[in-house]
Amino acid sequence: MRRFLIALGVMLIVAGVLWPWLRKMGLGRLPGDIRYEKDGFSFYFPLTTGLIISVVITLVLWVLRK
């Protein structure tokens, strides 16, 4: 459990540091991300971005287990 929490913390720190760079690459504005804007209201659900991040985290954790 300790190793998992440490890996999760490191991944969050890395994602936070790299977020401006990832944003320029289009992460967060991918096709499949749902965005709805109306007068005084906006809703954003990053479906595709969430799936890509989930796959990357799964692969990293899979490699750390071996």
Separation CA 11–CA 17 (nearest Å): 10
Q: What is the pLDDT of residues 4-18, one digit of tens each?
A: 888 888 888 987 888
Q: Which residue type occupies 52? A: I
Which DSSP letter does residue 27 get? T
Residue 35 · residue 44 · CB < 8 Å: yes
pTM for the model stands at: 0.61
Q: pLDDT digit string (tens) for 55-66?
A: 988 898 888 887
CB 7 within 8 A of CB 61: yes
Residues found in the chain: 66
Q: Coil, strand or helix: which one is 22?
A: helix
